[in-house]
Amino acid sequence: MRPGANLVGAALVVAAVLAGCADVPLEGAPSPGRSTAPKPPAGTPSKPGAPSPSPTKPSTPSPSPSKPSTPVPGQKLPAAAPVLRSFPGRLPNGKPPLFVVVSFDGAGDLALWARWRAVAKQVNARMTFFLSGPYLYPGNHRTDYKPPYRQPGASEIGWGDAANVLGRTKVLREAIAEGHEIGTHANGHFCGTNGIGRWTTAQWTAELSAFDQMVRTGPTLAAGKTVAPPFDPSTVKGMRTPCLEGNRPAYRQAMVQRGMLYDASAPGYITWPKKLDGLWNFPLESVTLAGTGKKTLTMDYNLWFAQTQARKAPLAQAPALKAQVLATYQQALAKSRASGNPPLFLGNHFNRWNNSVYSDALTDFVKQTCTQPDVRCVSNMELASWLAKYGVPSGQNRPS
């Protein structure tokens, strides 16, 4: 790599970080006065007076949930980060496994929960779902949440209703039983200038404690009777911060104090992970949008912005846009293979943006890739477990 190339690359990655991502408000009920339009990645120029791009809100309602079971007294709650599989340190070709990690922010929509669990089952994949606390907490108790610099009950993604809270409780239990991992996406999803960037370690500690409370008490409050939490929140091992923002040393200190193991929030490169601030750094990686010279991150919203400035394209363009996203993923996979098999981290939301281009492209990629002999499609925690056992392959932690 030529001198200075790393600095140029770093600038491109920073420019691709979200200034605001677009988790879909719960039940279509954002906080009063809040715009649900997604914001462009930081560093993207905009024309004066140009309207804010706005994705289409999912129109498919969540299915009616099955009634969750009443807990057995003394029942042990499942761990949020199960590691039920083991993988070899080296494959027969002498290389480490090529780990593909698919993760989702928010994890609220019940129909998309069913979709991704079914996709994972087809190819023996495990995935990570970064849960937003309000998705598991009823809105009539929202003032229990007291975020920094905001009124009690503030949330940029709304709150749950009883039926959906109980439906999510059931599906979270089932997903964990299938080997999927639940991480945290924090709670109020406050982004931008007046968002989480100014929070201190103490405020992050309170935010994570509020997440614990929502998980532990939300289902019972929604049902009006005792219902077991879907998992033990103290066993959550990773976080992705809202909009990939936040003072990293500050929130990572809070994470370390809780015994968490990895942060999946920072931008980075296709390279073997390393530890920063006491945690594994599992980044969203810088890639080139296929057929262009545009740099973006391996996050669905960033890909959408790179393609159409986060505006919905005509339906007739969907096949070409989907093919471009799929080709971008395939290029990234080839780059990993050429660089010693560092993990590929793909970040996503439960969304139907741009005529479902990003969900559909990811579905095809997972089905094509996860059954390949050298690939293992794993959760973040499965990768962290492998790294704890074998370590980073020597000489393999430089950007490719």
State the pairing for strand pair 98-106/128-131.
parallel
Tell me what pLDDT residue 75 has: 75
Sequence-ordered alpha helix ranges (H) in 106-200: 110-123, 162-177
Tell me what pLDDT residue 394 has: 80
Q: How far apart are CA 265 and CA 281, in angstroms?
A: 8
Transcribe 279-296 into DSSP letters. EEE-PEEEEEPTTS--EE
For residues 138 and 160, is the Cβ–Cβ distance under 8 A? yes
Give the model confidence (pLDDT) of 87-134 as tens digits. 999 999 999 999 999 999 999 999 999 999 999 999 999 999 999 999
Tell me what pLDDT residue 309 has: 96
pLDDT mean by block of 10 residues, the chain; 400 residues: 39 42 41 36 32 30 38 76 97 96 96 97 98 98 98 97 97 98 98 96 98 98 97 98 97 98 97 96 97 97 97 98 98 97 97 96 98 98 98 71
- Strand, helix or coil at 131? strand
The number of angstroms, rounded, from the C-alpha of 218 to the middle of its chain's C-alpha atoms is 21
Sequence-ordered alpha helix ranges (H) in the chain: 5-15, 110-123, 162-177, 201-223, 248-258, 300-308, 318-337, 353-369, 380-390
Q: How far apart are CA 336 and CA 100, in angstroms?
A: 10
For residues 185 and 134, is the Cβ–Cβ distance under 8 A? no
For residues 229 and 173, is the Cβ–Cβ distance under 8 A? no
Six-digit token string for 233: 């929140």
Q: Residue 393 contacts by C-beta under 8 Å, 6 or more apart in sequence?
A: 96, 272, 340
The structure's pTM equals 0.85
- Mutual orientation of helices 353-369 and 110-123 as an angle, nearest 10°? 20
- Strand, helix or coil at 237? coil
For residues 55 and 351, is the Cβ–Cβ distance under 8 A? yes
Q: Residue 10 contacts by C-beta under 8 Å, 6 or more apart in sequence?
A: none
Q: How far apart are CA 184 and CA 242, in angstroms?
A: 10
Q: How far apart are CA 146 and CA 137, in angstroms?
A: 14
Q: How far apart are CA 372 and CA 76, in angstroms?
A: 37
Give the model confidence (pLDDT) of 275-328 as tens digits. 999 999 999 999 999 999 999 999 999 999 999 999 999 999 999 999 999 999
Tell me what pLDDT residue 385 has: 98
Tell me what pLDDT residue 228 has: 97
- Residue 328: Cβ-neighbour burial (10 angstroms; 0-12, 13-18, 19+): buried
Q: How far apart are CA 170 and CA 167, in angstroms?
A: 5
